[in-house]
Chain A
Amino acid sequence: MAVSDTPSDTHRAVEAVWRIESARLIAGLARMVHDIGLAEELAQDALVAALEQWPESGIPDNPGAWLMSIAKRRAIDQFRRNERFDRKLTELGREAETRQELGEPDLDAIEDDIGDDLLRLVFTACHPVLSTQARVALTLRLLGGLTTEEVARAFLVPEPTVAQRIVRAKRTLAKKKVPFEVPRGAELAQRLSSVLEVIYLIFNEGYSATAGDDWMRPALCEDALRLGRILAELAPREPEVHGLVALMEIQASRSRARMDATGAPVLLLDQDRGRWDQLLIRRGLAALERAEGLGSTGPYTLQAAIAACHARARTAEDTDWHRIAALYDALGRLAPSPVVELNRAVAVAMAFGPEPALELVDALAAEPALERYHLLPSVRADLLRRLGRHAEARAEFERAAALTRNERERALLLERAAASAREPVSS
């Protein structure tokens, strides 16, 4: 039987421990040194020590505590050597507190604070002083345990670019003296939405790229889901966190059905619902219930509720379009956007017919954000076709075909334009 005893086995085991422990380690250290850049360096040092020592000594019973005590020892060494750091601590007025924490390792106390520390780390990594790209990179690195190389591969950018982004982000946090803390009161909601935005962005980066042969990108969905699930445990009273988790679980439940055997995308209403992952749907519906139970009508919860309408329908025909239209209505009022309006129009068409929907779509005609968006003429064409206005429908299908960048979609749209041309023109 294979026991982990060769160096490469141990190496992989160390990586696994790192995956599990790194965020908690960095978070705990950041609370002590008040600098996430330094905290990460100390954690990395501990990782190197593990890679050197564990192949000989074996993996300790409590690897997290082992890494933490090594990192703390390094921190004390740094303190003693580095006068600059002493000054900095004095400036911050936290010297006594920090020295005490570093001088007397009390691992039990650390255990108790882990949840708070992780939350502080999430809020710091997603701080609004950072660009969105920097927030994403920092979050994946510090909380997702991804290497810089992995982040780079996932976002199809060169590794040095990501490394630069992370270095600059850490510097910005230090320069702007961003405190390592969980925001309170009115600030919390705003800061939380920045965190949720980052997680959903990571999810979408993976979700929209499922067709690629690069496995890193679909894996991003799992990373985002994991981050979301962790956050839901850390902040159980925040309804929108559960709303976002619900949305991601339900969307992820469709992964297997989103492509046919040839790799072509399959639209939601055409998907084989037998391929939807029922476990993820159940988890999503449960998370949605938690969000709604906390009284949420936030944008993520509303989007999750829409996704849930599709998930609950056993066939495409069973879809509750009246409810979806109402939910889009609420979403449009809460977070107005032309894309939401367009989706609302589609739901209205399904629930109430093409006429009221066409009114909504026509109101979007002057929307600059949708000027080059092929779905606007495509939806409009479909409504016109249903109203028997075939000549206009044809022109709109052709316009949509000219705008799309997807070859398969263009072929389909041109086909539909040709079909409209064959229809008798109504009076």
Chain B
Amino acid sequence: MRFMVLVKATEDSEAGVMPSEEMLTAMGKYNEELVQAGVLLAGEGLHPSSKGARVRFSGADRTVVDGPFTETKELIAGFWLIQVKSREEAIEWVRRCPNPHEGESEIEIRQVLEAEDFGEAATPEVLEQEQRLRDQVAAQQE
């Protein structure tokens, strides 16, 4: 199973303060461990939200809002995508992560949905819609 491991932002990360050399070294070592254990699928650090944007949806309307965004603790500063055997294994790997920021910080672990998780949400309507979409794509390729 796959887990998305989300590093929450802090005031420093939002201010664009780059990690120290020590931190980079520690993180590099940790990433290496994840790779050597065959666990890491992908991972990236993110720029502060001041460089980001949000697109708000309301019915058919779209509104673009530029960053920065205020609720720092709800923001993401980076992520890993890992493949492990259990939620506990994901937690154990995250426990081993160096503290990604100076002082207090938090890392969130979320399981990635797989096709079979959709279960009943994949109603005949959804499947039919998907089939229609496929037919359209196929027609475009003729």
Contact = CB atoms under 8 A, between A and B. Distances in A.
B89 interface: yes
A279 B37 contact: no
A226 B83 contact: yes
Nearest to B88: A16
A317 B138 CA distance: 11
A229 B122 CA distance: 33
Interface string B113-142: 001000000100001000000100100010
Interface stretch (B11-19, B38-46, B53-61): B38-46
B41 A279 contact: yes
B92 A16 contact: yes
Given A222-B83, A228-B38, A272 B88 contact: no
A20 B92 contact: yes
Contact of A233 (B36, B84, B92): B36
A225 interface: yes
Contacts of A261: 122, 127
B77 interface: no
Contacts of B85: 16, 19, 219, 222
Nearest to B1: A222
Nearest to B141: A315
B41 A19 contact: no
B92 A17 contact: yes
B38 A279 contact: no
Nearest to B33: A20
A273 to B, nearest CB: 9
A217 to B, nearest CB: 14
Interface in A196-255: 219, 222, 225-230, 233-234
B91 to A, nearest CB: 7
B86 interface: yes
A88 B87 CA distance: 43
Contacts of B38: 225-230, 233
B93 interface: yes
A293 to B, nearest CB: 18
Contacts of B141: 315, 317
Given A226-B38, A227-B38, A256-B115, A20 B89 contact: yes
B36 A16 contact: no
A226 B36 CA distance: 9
Given A225-B38, A283-B41, A16 B91 contact: yes
Given A230-B37, A272-B134, A283-B41, A20 B83 contact: no
A229 B40 CA distance: 10
Contacts of A20: 37, 89, 92-93
A15 B84 CA distance: 12
Nearest to A9: B88
A12 interface: yes
Contacts of B36: 115, 230, 233-234
B6 interface: no
Interface string A175-192: 000000000000000000
Contacts of B93: 20
B81 A279 contact: yes
A13 B91 contact: yes
Contacts of B88: 12-13, 15-16
Nearest to B40: A229
B35 interface: yes
B55 to A, nearest CB: 22
Nearest to B90: A16
Nearest to A13: B88
Interface of B: 35-39, 41-42, 81, 83-86, 88-89, 91-93, 95, 115, 122, 127, 134, 137, 141
Closest 3 CB pairs of A and B: A229-B38, A16-B88, A226-B38
